[in-house]
């Protein structure tokens, strides 16, 4: 592995390592994700959220998010749709550079993220737009998506972050609010997630063994 800071160092590293190799670019900025519904390459509706409270380190999984407005995101989504002609719901990870330059796209996944399911207003907009596509009706013009400035915790990830940062009261509030999104309709899965977390914070090995036995009996 080599860390380079300019083109000359990059060329020297390539000569030293040789091929094949993988190049990664570090972008200083705010990571965010955008869920977008495409109709044959045309963005119909979308919602963006900042990625917060990564665990167990700054490159780990996000445990919370906050809805944000990203200037220029519509133009970028239109260009991406024209290039891919994607049809359906996609979750796009990107970075908003601190220097004000153009948005840097990291990856595009053909899947639904957490935004459309964790906020009812966003869910309603996506549901109406998707229904019109399924009925072959012309899409409505894009409308500004409601933005909720609250930090929303992901269950159970936010409890792992709370375990590492219990000193902040707001972390407790975010974790408790995340219980609204727990999989109560799948009790074995819910118990499995709770047992995983409890096994990580229980100080006594005896209790850990009992929780592990309970975990092994739960079929998910």
- Give tens-digit pLDDT for 7-46: 888 888 888 887 777 878 888 888 898 999 999 999 999 9
In the predicted model, what is the mean pLDDT of residues 99-114? 82
Residue 70 corresponds to which tokens in the numbers above?
């990203």
HSE value, Cβ hemisphere, 13 Å, CA-based, for 24: 6
Give the pLDDT mean for 56-78.
84
Same domain for 99 and 69: yes
Structure tokens at 172: 């407790």
| Mean pLDDT, residues 124-133 taken together | 88
Q: What does the block give as tokens for 192? A: 């499995």
Structure pTM? 0.71
For residue 19, is it within any domain? no
197 and 95, same structural domain? no
**Residue 196 shares a structural domain with residue 128:** no
Mean of the per-residue pLDDT values of the chain: 81
Query: How far is Cα 62 from Cα 21, in angstroms, rounded to an integer?
Result: 28
The parent domain of residue 211 ranges over 183-220
In this structure, the answer to whether residues 61 and 152 fall within a common structural domain is yes
Residues 54 and 109 in one domain: yes
pLDDT above 50 for 115 = yes
**Whether residue 49 has pLDDT greater than 80:** yes
DSSP annotation of 97:
E
pLDDT above 90: residue 78: yes
**DSSP three-state, residue 154:** coil
Domain identity same for 150 and 205: no
Residues forming a β-bridge with 107: 93
- CATH code for the domain of 167: 3.30.470.20
Structure tokens that stand for 148 in this block:
């909720």
Q: Using 50, 70 and 90 to split pLDDT, how confident is the model at 159?
A: confident
Structure confidence at residue 205 (pLDDT): 41
**Are both 91 and 187 inside the same structural domain?**
no
Q: Which residues lie closer than 8 Å to 127 by C-beta, 6 or more apart?
A: none
Residue 196 sits at the vertex; the CA angle it makes with 193 and 218, to the nearest 5 degrees, is 65
The pLDDT assigned to 212 comes to 53
Each residue of 147-159: b (16+ CB within 10 Å) or e?
eeeebbbbbbbbb
Pairing of strands 88-97, 104-109: antiparallel
Query: Domain for residue 15, yes or no?
Result: no
Cα dihedral sign, 193-120-38-147: negative
The mean pLDDT of 114-137, rounded to a whole number, is: 80
Q: What is the mean predicted confidence (pLDDT) over 108-131?
A: 78
Query: Tell me, what's the pLDDT at 43?
Result: 92
Answer yes or no: is 164 within a domain: yes
> Is residue 218 predicted with pLDDT exceeding 60?
no
pLDDT band with cut points at 50, 70 and 90 for residue 64 = confident
> What's the pLDDT at 77?
92
Q: Quick one: pLDDT at residue 113?
A: 66
What share of the chain has pLDDT > 90, as a percent?
13
Rounded to the nearest 10 degrees, the angle between the axes of helix 187-201 and helix 157-164 is: 10
């Amino acid at each position: 592995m080599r860390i380079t800071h300019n083109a000359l160092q990059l060329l020297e590293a390539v000569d030293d390592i040789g091929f094949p190799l993988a190049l990664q670019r570090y972008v200083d900025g705010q990571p965010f994700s955008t869920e977008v519904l495409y109709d044959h390459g045309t963005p119909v509706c979308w919602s963006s959220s900042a990625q917060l409270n990564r665990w167990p380190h700054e490159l780990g999984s996000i445990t919370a998010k906050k809805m944000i407005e990203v200037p220029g995101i519509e133009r970028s989504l239109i260009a991406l749709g024209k290039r891919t002609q994607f049809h359906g719901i996609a979750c796009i990870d990107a970075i908003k550079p601190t220097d004000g330059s153009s948005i840097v796209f990291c990856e595009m996944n053909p899947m639904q993220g957490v935004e459309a399911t964790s906020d009812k207003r966003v869910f309603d907009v996506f549901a109406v737009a998707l229904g019109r596509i399924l009925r072959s009706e012309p899409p409505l013009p894009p409308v500004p998506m409601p933005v909720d400035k609250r930090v929303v915790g992901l269950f159970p990830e936010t409890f792992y972050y709370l375990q590492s940062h219990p000193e902040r009261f707001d972390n407790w509030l975010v974790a408790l609010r995340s219980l609204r999104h727990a999989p109560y309709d799948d009790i074995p899965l819910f118990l499995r997630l709770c047992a995983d977390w409890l096994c990580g914070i229980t100080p006594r090995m005896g209790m850990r063994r009992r929780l592990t036995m309970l975990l092994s009996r739960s079929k998910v």
